[in-house]
A and B are shown apart, each in its own frame.
Chain A
Amino acid sequence: MTSSTFKRISNSGFTKLALFLLFALVPFFFAVNDVQLFIFWGINILLAQSINLLSGFAGQISLGHAAFYAIGAYTSAIFMTKFGLSLVVTILLAALLNGLVGYLLSFPAGRVKEFYLAMMTLGFGFIVQEVAKEWSSVTGGVMGLSGIPSPQLGTFTLLGIPMGLAYYYWVVLVIVVFFLWMFKNFVQSYIGRSFLAVHRSELSAASIGISPQFVKQLAYTVSALMAGVAGALYAHLMGYIGTNSFGMMQSIEILVMGILGGFGTIIGPILGAGFLTFIPNKLQFIQEYQLMIYSLLLVVSFLIIPQGFAGVLKLRTSLYKNLKSKEKSPSPATTVVAKREINDLDANRSHQPILTTTNVIKDFSGLRALNGISFNLYRGEILGLIGPNGSGKSTLVNLISGIYPITSGAISFEDDDITNKQSHLIATKGIIRTFQDPHNVANMTVRENLLLGNHRLYQSGILSCTLNLKRSIAEEQEMLAKVDQIMVLSELAQYADDQVGNLPYGIQRIVEVARAILAEPKILLLDEPAAGLSETELKLLIQLIRYVKSKGIPVVLIDHHMDFVSSLVDRVVVLDSGEEIYTGDMKGMKQNKQVIEAYLGVAKHA
């Protein structure tokens, strides 16, 4: 059986329904102990997906995830025992409170990265456990909370009906399935893709209009919310909660489930959770050495199976919704093209600048990289930005796209002042750039990377994407059609489903340029797009840039390849050591003394 047939079978609605029914039958065929294990699996799936969203998708490592689990468990337990609220309400409260905690945590956590974040989350885990230990009037302190209504003790009722373990199992099953469905919709939407983009590089995510800050806030909130639901379900399963259940080892167990299963996929954490639920329980000797085995798994998993079980089984989760069979919109490709072809050609070239830099100065701790650069970019033109290495070309692009703050001067776009605006806001306005080395998301396919380009055009809300509302799906189909069109134009169709990281360098560059085009920019900034391209790839690039020009989109082009530049540009600005030494057409440039001096060192040899 090939993987594609496997995929088709596992994706069909019938298979899913059959699986669901099979799981629903579990209480009839298994002993009480095993049913309890299945419930634990469900709870662990929620935990594993929770950390998967935060660490696997958004790339924010968490070593204190048990803290969220604890807050959920305590909240739900306290509201039920002290106020007699129903499970439906307490789960919601646990989820909401946790979401709030996650949201608040995202502010300090969003400011740090890498091992700083790891330590911070480790500290957060300790703090929450410490609070649970010390705040004994509410949490029961080290004694824990007992007497929580539990189906195992027969003290549990839902909506007035007394519930046994089997009923509780079904409740958990429905909740888990519902969450998995929402999780899948979420990660396959433009929001889910933006998580991976931030994971790869906040810089490049911002360059296509994704706000890293927003992504992190959302990731922490949703991740905490899911862990909160898991905590609530755990508290009512056990009937007792103590601080020992939410220590560092629990955080590590959650992390192991995610890593071992495979971060960044949907099936992975489900398998990881299952592994850690059933294996230690069924094999006694493992229980005895459980901690040692978990820690060794941490040491070796990244070395041996960096992508976890999902990687071993080659089960990749695709990151877009392909529902073409259901939603046959009347060939959207043509309508899109037609709409865009209307405003065309040199008619758009005017003498009204779309981008103006005024006396821009940039200092890097004492070194002046740019000294008073003023230039205009006019609608519909291609402007070459050239100069020797270190002359400040890339710095200028970095200033325009908001990556570096400007020391002094101003940049305005259309009628807005964009000086020192945040990078993603500038991109949202329509100033899109590429980088000297391609900044695609290596573990996403070409199609998914190109969809990232569309990010700033999406309008559906988070809820709409999560619940697969019709509008969000129609929007996704529309974007997919645009992607198809550009893939044909840039000859990428044959690579559509290949992961970008596995493709040759030249193709990666083309993907990045195509991605930028898909953002439907108002200005396109290309930083050395031709570097390292083969002859054929170069021709393709020229074709793409001409296409952009035909849309009336102005382009700023940095490159050293003179034939390439001169075949495309309308005007050039030449920089040398941070000074603007020439502005005008190519012909004039070649005769300009200062330019020749800058390139060849001595003027008289020219």
Chain B
Amino acid sequence: MSSLQFALELIFTGLCVGAVYSLIAHGFNITFWTTKVVNFGHGPFIMFCSMLVLSFLMKGLPWIVSIPLGFSIIILLGYILERFSIRPLLKYPTSMGWIVSTLGLGLFLQALASKIWGAQALAFPPFIFQATDYVSIFGIQLSAQYLLVLVMALVIMLLMEVIINKTIWGKAMKAVAFDPNFARVMGIKSKMVMTLSFMISALLAGVAGILIAPIYGTITPEFGMNIMVLGFVAAVLGGIGSSKGALFGGLMLGVIEKLVGGYISTSAEHGVAFLILIIILALKPDGFFGVKVVQKV
């Protein structure tokens, strides 16, 4: 029984971490829909938001103020990213420009974070629950903090799904994703929708940041880049551009990672993710739920 319990606990932790990967993958998807761009600075955005919230907390501000403040700043950064690192570079035929430019902005945030808060790890306080709070389900002890993260991530994804499919903004976004010029002809402000998509994407990065930070316990300026690649693996696993894929890919990656960590070695956890990335890109670049893109001549 204890070995089963161990496995179940690993799977549960994997699902919680994986839910955050799904959120990151969603962040990639949103900008991919509107502009075919993914933000290579997404990781540092995740890190920066958690750092901001932490520093507000340390200034004595309550959670209820710190979090919205952190989110506002990260949304503003999303706006800046789109205006300066993406829009001017979309006109070039190659993607190298915006890849390098978004990466540059991300790295700048990372360097800025080490300048302001130092390069060492900072403790991130538990959110709502204490680290020692447990819920017992089917005889296994589940950390309340983890459970909260899982539930919140799922709720946010559900909310997004509703917004995109049911509201007029969601439909406008879909129209822009289909063809920005056509959407413009139909009276949709394509450029604004694009900018908005980057702001939402940045917000999702921020949410992922403050959800994952209590799980990690400590945060460093570097942690964002690493987790970004994990989120990207999740997105690729499910198929870039697919919401279902992002959810599925994230959860699956989280579980695989934790199982590998539990049964083989914790140091192999992230290595496995990169290996999955290389294998999936080589064998099935469209992922499990992605749509095959037809090459145009």
A interface, CB within 8 angstroms of B: 55, 59, 61, 63, 107-108, 111-112, 114-116, 118-120, 122-124, 126-127, 130-131, 133-134, 203, 248-249, 252, 255, 259, 289, 291-292, 294-303, 306, 364, 394, 398, 403, 435-436
B interface majority secondary structure? helix
Residue contact A299 to B108, C-beta cutoff 8 Å: yes
Q: Which of B84, B92, B111, B274 contacts A124 (CB under 8 A)?
A: B274
Query: In the complex the two chains form, what is the Cα distance from A466 to B278 in whole Å?
Result: 32
Q: Which residues of the other chain, A, contact B37 by a CB distance below 8 angstroms? A: 115
Residue contact A298 to B277, C-beta cutoff 8 Å: no
Residue contact B285 to A252, C-beta cutoff 8 Å: no
Residue contact B294 to A364, C-beta cutoff 8 Å: yes
Residue contact A127 to B271, C-beta cutoff 8 Å: yes
Given A289-B111, A292-B115; 19 other pairs, CB 8 A cutoff: A61-B96, A112-B281, A114-B95, A118-B95, A118-B99, A119-B277, A123-B273, A126-B274, A127-B274, A130-B267, A249-B107, A291-B114, A296-B108, A298-B100, A298-B107, A299-B104, A301-B100, A398-B297, A435-B297
B275 within 8 Å of A (CB atoms): yes
3 closest A-B pairs by CB: A298-B104, A108-B282, A295-B107
Given contacts A111-B285, A123-B277, A398-B297, contact A130 B271 (CB under 8 A): yes
Q: Which of A61, A119, A291, A436 contacts B111 (CB under 8 A)?
A: A291
Residue contact B297 to A295, C-beta cutoff 8 Å: no
Q: Which residues of the other chain, B, contact A122 by a CB distance below 8 angstroms? A: 229
Q: Which of B101, B114, B225, B282 contacts A298 (CB under 8 A)?
A: B101
Taking the closest CB of chain B, its distance from the CB of A226, in whole angstroms, is 20
Residue contact A295 to B108, C-beta cutoff 8 Å: yes
Q: Which residues of the other chain, B, contact A116 by a CB distance below 8 angstroms? A: 236, 281, 285
B68 within 8 Å of A (CB atoms): no
Q: Which residues of the other chain, B, contact A248 by a CB distance below 8 angstroms? A: 225
Q: Which residues of the other chain, A, contact B279 by a CB distance below 8 angstroms? A: 108
B270 within 8 Å of A (CB atoms): yes
B197 within 8 Å of A (CB atoms): no
Q: Which residues of the other chain, B, contact A255 by a CB distance below 8 angstroms? A: 100
Given contacts A126-B226, A299-B85, A303-B89, contact A292 B281 (CB under 8 A): no
Taking the closest CB of chain B, its distance from the CB of A604, in whole angstroms, is 37
Q: Which residues of the other chain, A, contact B229 by a CB distance below 8 angstroms? A: 119, 122-123, 126
B38 within 8 Å of A (CB atoms): yes
Interface CB pairs A-B, < 8 A, 26: A61-B99, A63-B40, A114-B95, A114-B99, A115-B40, A116-B236, A118-B99, A119-B236, A120-B278, A122-B229, A123-B229, A123-B233, A124-B278, A126-B274, A134-B268, A255-B100, A291-B110, A291-B114, A292-B111, A292-B112, A298-B100, A298-B103, A299-B101, A303-B101, A306-B97, A364-B294
Q: Which residues of the other chain, A, contact B273 by a CB distance below 8 angstroms? A: 123
Q: Which residues of the other chain, A, contact B275 by a CB distance below 8 angstroms? A: 127
Q: Which of B38, B89, B94, B106 contacts A59 (CB under 8 A)?
A: B94
Q: Which residues of the other chain, B, contact A249 by a CB distance below 8 angstroms? A: 107
Given contacts A108-B279, A302-B89, contact A403 B297 (CB under 8 A): yes
Contact string, B176-209, partner A, CB cutoff 8 A, digits 1/0? 0000000000000000000000000000000000
Q: Which residues of the other chain, B, contact A303 by a CB distance below 8 angstroms? A: 88-89, 101
Query: In the complex the two chains form, what is the Cα distance from A248 to B41 in whole Å?
Result: 13
Q: Which residues of the other chain, A, contact B95 by a CB distance below 8 angstroms? A: 61, 114-115, 118
